[in-house]
Structure 1
Amino acid sequence: MKKLLTIVLVLAAGQALAVEKGDWLLHMRAININPNDDSSALRVEGAAVPGTSVSVDDNYSLDISIGYMISDHWAIELLADLSSKHTVSAHGLSALGVPDGTDVVDTNVLPPTVFLQYQFRPTASVRPYFGVGANYTHFFNEELSGPAQEVLGAENLDLDSSFGWAAQFGIDWELSNNWSFNMDVKYIDINTEATFNTALGSAAVDVDINPTVIGIGFGKTF
């Protein structure tokens, strides 16, 4: 019994922490960005056009995040998703010659996010974590589609940048050589106001995008 206890103590003494204070955590994932979208009615010269709205499609991209363990349980993580491209479709404009679901805008989205992350079981081989944080989203390469320009006379599109909160839950399954398999789900509060000119006057619409982001990939601890 004493010999068995000695072996266990030796093995335990030689066992390294899975993650601990001072470690750097790198994750790389393939992600699906799925908007929980909603919008106001289109406003033309400040007046709402009843029955109108827009929707945002989902898309795939890659994300890279890097975190630093500020204690054995807490980390700061910076999420740096690669830009994804999304299409905005219009609804309720059939009377103006724009069928429901017509694509009217394409835009690239860049959403850097900072999380304060809690590691529930930092010494285990299966490590769940939860984080809350702040997001900034920048829209760029905004383009109006042919129907939007030709039928509505739309031009001079601008999408406001967004500031919002974010939350995440994920799990790392330890592999070997400080590698892990990772699954991660995030919710990001993203909203914008789109403004543009039309043949009928200046127009605007408020859009809540609020995507759920599901990712699968690998992590590395340094």
Structure 2
Amino acid sequence: MTQRTITHALRLAAFLLAACAAGAHAEDFGPANEIRVGAYFVHNNTKADDLSGPFTPAGINIRVGDSTTPYLAYLRNLDTHWTLELAGGVPPTVKTYGKGPDKVGSVPFNGQEVATAKWFSPTLLIDYKFMEPTSALRPYVGIGVNYTRFYDLRSTPAGDGANGGPTRVSLRRSIGPAGTIGLSYQLTREIDIVASYSLARVNSRYRSDTAGDIRTTSIRFNPQAAIVAVGYSF
């Protein structure tokens, strides 16, 4: 996470707070709050440098699997078009697989589940809704900031075998830009259904420790999420 990224994130957060304050004086435009519940279908288009460190053969890499998890969001309508959205999901257990040679020494590696981790990854967005509130169908776009913290990281038996013994793994937290595009359909004044596509920049530094042998790589997760949800406005 660079200083430039942090600066941009802080500026965007300030803009979102200012927008929220301005929205407090908006005229009556219907329910001000909305809760959404649904499902996240997350695809990680992972790109990583080859692992480096002691006794590490060339071409050792990793791939992060996809996940599905419950989706939760709170939205605050600022006026007829602008909405502040805090979105997230129940932290999923994400699996990491070996990518590279079929074996490391005599241990199977390519395609083997080598580690797992949980992700806490909320996103704060400012959304612009097209059309008027009287329209049942309203497309929208949004931009914001994603924060991702990795925890409960574990090396699997296959990962320990490839690393040469019991291994501890870690990933740095990430702050980066995020965006969304979606469509809501209003069934009643209080209920709508939503479908959207979101992406975020989630970059991290992977580190493993096997009896003092440190191996590292940089990972760009590039998560892309399809979301379907039901919203309740109040």
Structure 1-normalised TM-score?
0.84
Q: Check whether the contact 2:36–2:232 (CA below 8 A) recurs between aligned residues.
A: yes
1:102 paired residue number: 112
SS of equivalent to 2:109: coil
Among 174, 181, 188, the residue aligned to 1:176: 188
Among 196, 213, 230, the residue aligned to 1:201: 213
Which stretch shows the higher mean deviation, 111-120 or 174-183?
Answer: 174-183
The CA distance in 1 between the partners of 2:152 and 2:125, in whole Å, is 27
- 1:82-107 Cα offsets, whole Å, 9 max, x none, are 11111101122524323311111101
Give the total of aligned pairs: 203
Give the fraction of aligned pairs with identical amino acids, expressed as a percent. 20
Question: Cα–Cα, structure 1 residues 114 and 54, in superposed 2: closer, same or farther, change >3 Å?
Answer: same
Task: Supply the AA of the counterpart residue of 1:87.
Answer: K
Among 36, 39, 50, the residue aligned to 1:30: 39
Where does the alignment leave 5 or more consecutive residues of structure 2 unmatched?
1-27
2:64 paired residue number: 56
User: Once superposed, what is the RMSD of the aligned Cα atoms?
Assistant: 2.0
Task: Supply the AA of the counterpart residue of 2:171.
Answer: L
The within-5 A match list for 1:158-177 is 158-177=170-189
2:85 paired residue number: 77
- Cα drift, residue 174 of structure 1: 0.9
Where does the alignment leave 5 or more consecutive residues of structure 1 unmatched?
1-18
- 1:50-73 Cα offsets, whole Å, 9 max, x none, are 322110111110111111112221
Which segments of structure 1 move beyond 6 Å, counting only runs of 4 or more? Answer: none
Task: Supply the AA of the counterpart residue of 1:20.
Answer: F
- Cα drift, residue 200 of structure 1: 8.0
- 1:145-199 Cα offsets, whole Å, 9 max, x none, are 0022234224221111111111011111111241011111110111211111136
The CA distance in 2 between the partners of 1:95 and 1:150, in whole Å, is 9
Q: Check whether the contact 2:115–2:155 (CA below 8 A) recurs between aligned residues.
A: yes
Computing the radius of gyration from Cα coordinates, the structure with the larger value is: 1
Structure 2-normalised TM-score?
0.80
SS of equivalent to 2:89: coil
